[in-house]
Amino acid sequence: MEGLEFGGASSRLIVLKKSFRSGKTRGIGWRKSQLRALLKLIAENESQIFDALEQDLGKHPVEAYRDEIGVVKKSADHALLHIKEWMAPKRGKLPLLFFPSRAQLLPEPLGTVLIFGSWNFPISLTLDPLIGAISAGNTVVVKPSELAPTCSSLLYRMIPLYLDTEAITIVEGGSDVAEQLLLHQWDKIFFTGSPRVGRMVMSAAAKHLTPVVLELGGKCPVILDSFTGSDLKVVVKRIAGGKWGPCAGQACIGVDYLLVQQKLAPLLIESLKRCIKRFYGDNVKNLQSFCRIVNKHHFDRVCNLLEEPGVAASIVYGGSVDKENLVIEPTILLDPPLDAQIMTEEIFGPLLPIITLDNIEDSIDFINDKPKPLVIYAFTNNEKFKEQIVQETSSGSVTFNDTMIQFICDSLPFGGVGQSGFGRYHGKFSFDTFSHEKAVLHRSFFPELEPRYPPWNDFKLEFIRLAYNLDYIGLLLLLLGLRKVTPR
């Protein structure tokens, strides 16, 4: 695996910091030029990107466009459209006592930032944060995931051809390179990945007091309330699309497991089976429009989830694997044991456990027994139940009656809470996450509030008291000598 040696990374970092200090990344002209260059990179190398995603994950070009290329294009377009207003200082309001002062909130770049990409969406989860970092005026080091090597290598070759090499650097490599990078001092670290690695990143960041954003995952549940006729068809498509659609279930916001009332399970399973056959086919050696598992390690990990006692027995559809091609077919399980790994860990694969409940309202307690996920999906038309879910659970977001859709809306902040992480991005939130909002306060020398300073006396204390209570009338009376001063 070619990549930057430690020494190389060190010297590149010096270049980046120098570039930042020179101020070249501050102007809107530079930022816009980089965003346009990124769009050009995507447009001119689309088929190569499709090939790389096919190579690394068996991703179909349409899925690749939908989840990776299209997302990056949309984000860059959105940033270009709005960057001027994002960069503009905001007027700050001030209390009356501050008169005549003015205040501004001025966004500034943080400096030199580090972005760790992930392997499941190796293009979008690497470039989307980069768009935010550039818009905010930072210099950037990006380390794509080595588990998607073709994509990583493509970015390594392409980025220097289009973007400013003195401000944006791609570093390739595995965990050893990541560890080396983490020894340096960064102004922010943006990490997408697993909680385990997230902990290591944050611990390393702590040594330099570097702020971090952790985009982690969790077990994103679907709560399925009862449905009628035609709606059920759409519901099933959306669930299937949200489970097996994104990278064969290897997605942080992908559906992990499903909760449904017992009596509805049979109909649901039948509908899902039909849907799977229609979407992907039913021969594990010849599935269409369906990603494979990223590597042998994860393939074995997911297969092992099915090995536990009781789990294999709960398979009601699928379960076949193609070891040679690292494909696991869409698999449905009905009520696997709740203490099995498949129900205690994030699956990150095409296995869908369906857990049946006596009452669908019990899903709330079920979900609350697990760490807070990135998303909770709920299919229901019961407004009261929707309200209950919102009030009584906690997650990065809640989506009713659909899956995945919140991901592509730039006006919605994307991020987790609890074990699913902290920090957020997309749209303006990306810009904010890579910026520092500086408070700028302009005061004048006149008038002066003498009571602010010693030498102290009772008058001054009374003045301060009235001022903090916003008692302007009292203040006026005091100044006019019409208000008694009570000695302390």
Partner 1 sequence: MDLEREMREVREAFSSGKTKEESWRRSQLQNLLTLMHEKEDHIITALQQDLGKHPVESYRDEVGTLIKSVNYALKGLKKWMSGKKADLPFAAFPSTAYLVPEPLGVVLIISTWNFPFGLSLEPLIGAIAAGNSVVIKPSELAPASSSTLANLINTYLDTKAIKVIEGDASVGQHLLQHKWDKIFFTGNCKVGQLVMTAAAKNLTPVALELGGKCPAVVDSLSSSWDKRIAVDRILSAKFGTCAGQACIAIDYILVDKNFSSTLVELLKEGIERMFGKNPKESKSVAKIINKSHVLRLRSLLDDPMVKASVIHGGSVDEDNLFIEPTILLDPPVNARIMNEEIFGPLLPIITLEKNEDSIEFINSKSRALAIYAFTKNEEFKNKLSSQTSSGSIVFNDAIIQYVADTLPFGGVGGSGFGRYHGKFSFKEFSHKKVIVKRGFLVDFWFRYPPWNDHKLLLFRSAYRFDYLGVLLVILGLKKC
Whichever of 262 and 469 has its CB closer to partner 1, that residue is: 469
Residue 291 appears among annotated catalytic residues: no
Residue matched to tokens 């399925």 = 224
According to the binding rule CB under 8 A, does residue 29 interact with partner 1?
Answer: no
According to the binding rule CB under 8 A, does residue 319 interact with partner 1?
Answer: no
Binding mask 362-401 for partner 1 (x = CB under 8 A): ------------------------x---xxx-xxxxxxxx
In the chain, the amino acid numbered 189 is I
Nearest distance from C-beta of residue 314 to partner 1, angstroms:
26
According to the binding rule CB under 8 A, does residue 82 interact with partner 1?
Answer: no
According to the binding rule CB under 8 A, does residue 428 interact with partner 1?
Answer: no
Q: Could you give the CA distance from residue 50 to residue 212 in angstroms, rounded to a whole number?
A: 31
402 three-class SS: coil
- Degrees to nearest 5, angle at CA 292 with 290 and 293: 140
The residue annotated as part of the active site, out of 220, 247, 252, 291, is: 252
Binding mask 430-459 for partner 1 (x = CB under 8 A): ------xxxxxxxxxxx-x---xxxxxx--
Site for partner 1 in 194-233 (CB under 8 A): 195, 198-199, 202-203, 205-207, 209, 211, 214, 216, 230-231
Site for partner 1 in 37-66 (CB under 8 A): 60-63, 65-66
Burial class (CB in 10 A: 0-12, 13-18, 19+), 174: middle
Q: Residue 355 in contact with residue 258, Cβ under 8 Å? A: yes
Residue 139, C-beta contacts closer than 8 angstroms, at least 6 positions apart: 16, 17, 19, 20, 25, 111, 112, 113, 166, 167, 168
68 three-class SS: helix
The residue annotated as part of the active site, out of 63, 68, 172, 215, is: 215
Nearest distance from C-beta of residue 166 to partner 1, angstroms:
19
Q: Give CA separation, 200 vs 4, 117, 169, 183, in Å.
A: 21, 15, 22, 12
- Among 70, 174, 310, 474, which residue interacts with partner 1 (rule: CB under 8 A)? 70
Which DSSP string corresponds to 187-207?
Answer: SEEEEES-HHHHHHHHHHHHH
Q: Could you give the CA distance from residue 111 to residue 16 in angstroms, rounded to a whole number?
A: 9
What does the block give as tokens for 400? 């009713």
According to the binding rule CB under 8 A, does residue 7 interact with partner 1?
Answer: no
According to the binding rule CB under 8 A, does residue 80 interact with partner 1?
Answer: no
> In angstroms, how far is CA 84 from the centroid of its own chain?
24
Size of the site for partner 1 (CB under 8 A): 108
What does the block give as tokens for 250? 């290897």
Nearest distance from C-beta of residue 337 to partner 1, angstroms:
26
Site for partner 1 in 135-174 (CB under 8 A): none
Site for partner 1 in 283-312 (CB under 8 A): 288-290
Binding mask 328-367 for partner 1 (x = CB under 8 A): ----------------------------------------
Residue 215 appears among annotated catalytic residues: yes
Q: Which residues are known to be catalytic? A: 215, 252
